[in-house]
Amino acid sequence: MAETEKRIAILGDIHANLEALQAVMEDARQQGVNEYNCVGDIVGYNANPQECVDIVRAHCTAVVRGNHDHYCSGERSLADFQPNAAIAIEWTHRQLDGDSAAWLSSLPLSKNLFQYSFSLVHGTLDMPDQWGYVFDAVDAGAHFAYQTTPVCFHGHTHVPAVFEKVGSRVDRYAAPEPGMRVSLSFGHKYFINVGSVGQPRDGIPKASYAIYEPRSRIIEFRRVDFDIKAAADKIRRAGLPQRLADRLEIGR
Ligand code: ZN
């Protein structure tokens, strides 16, 4: 009997957006996904942190810790955060039960999935606890020095992207279009940003995630409609900053 092809969903920057996460889980199911992994920031910004933690814990094989997971799960200084983010982190901290907070705190900063030859990190592998942002090939170059697997998935900027290293050269692909499929070449290294499920910032107000097929070495970028109004209304009702609701409508 033919072995079932692994289809692995990589989810990131869910940020407590239950409507977006449910829409993505349903899309992934329809796409025949049979494994889920997460590059962090399950909580923060949106109104359903506990529910999103529960779904990720129930479905994801490997999960790494994002900066919001870190700061929402304990008493920590928020001096480096924008005011709206800090307000959301304090609010989220009050919503999470103790077991969920402890679980978020215990997540590793990076994870190697040797069986598939890829790794996961929220920001970068050069200093995963500093949560640096990778927007261009120069930023990606610092990261690639620490990437031992052919592929590494990440998030953090909320903007889907493909960085490719061939020899000593690092290039950034044009922004992945919804539905774009990238075929990976042997001997090259890839640093793939899967975009954000719960707060996309590339101007496309749809949940973003990726599906990876390790055998065919193809990555597909997917965008999924979700009930933006419901998610935004919950943010407003919770007393979270208005801007966090408004930005969902424009994907910024
Ligand atoms: Zn994030």
Q: Is residue 154 part of a domain?
A: yes
Number of independent structural domains in the chain: 1
- Ion ligand 1: residues, Cβ under 5 Å: 13, 41
3 within some domain: no
CA distances to 63, 132, 179, 217 from 220, rounded to whole Å, are 20, 25, 6, 10
Tell me what pLDDT residue 3 has: 63
Alpha carbon of 114 to ligand 1 centroid (Å):
26
Q: Say how many Å lie between the CA of residue 80 and the centre of ligand 1.
A: 14
Q: What is the pLDDT of residues 141-195, one digit of tens each?
A: 999 999 999 999 999 999 999 999 999 999 999 889 999 999 999 999 999 999 9
Domain membership flag for residue 145: yes
Q: Is residue 144 part of a domain?
A: yes
Residue 77: Cβ within 10 Å count: 8
**Residue 1 in domain:** no
The length of the chain is 252
| Cα–ligand 1 centroid distance for 22 (angstroms) | 18
Supply the range of the domain harboring residue 57: 8-250
Over residues 109-125, the pLDDT tens digits come to 999 999 999 999 999 99
| 188 CA from centroid of ligand 1 (Å) | 27
**pTM, rounded to two decimals:** 0.96
Cβ-proximal residues to 52 (8 Å cutoff; 6+ apart), any chain: 14, 15, 16, 17, 18, 21, 42, 43, 198
- For ligand 1, the distance from its centroid to the CA atom of residue 205, given in whole angstroms, is 15
Which pLDDT score is estimated for 78? Answer: 87
Q: What is the pLDDT of residue 76?
A: 82
Distance 225 CA to ligand 1 centre (A): 19
CATH number at 25 reads 3.60.21.10
Tell me, in angstroms, the distance from the centre of ligand 1 to residue 183's CA: 26
DSSP structural state of residue 129? G
Q: Which residue's entry shows tokens 């496309």?
A: 204
Identity (one letter) of the amino acid at 212? Answer: Y
In a domain, 239, yes or no: yes
Q: What's the gap in Å between 6 CA and the centre of ligand 1?
A: 27
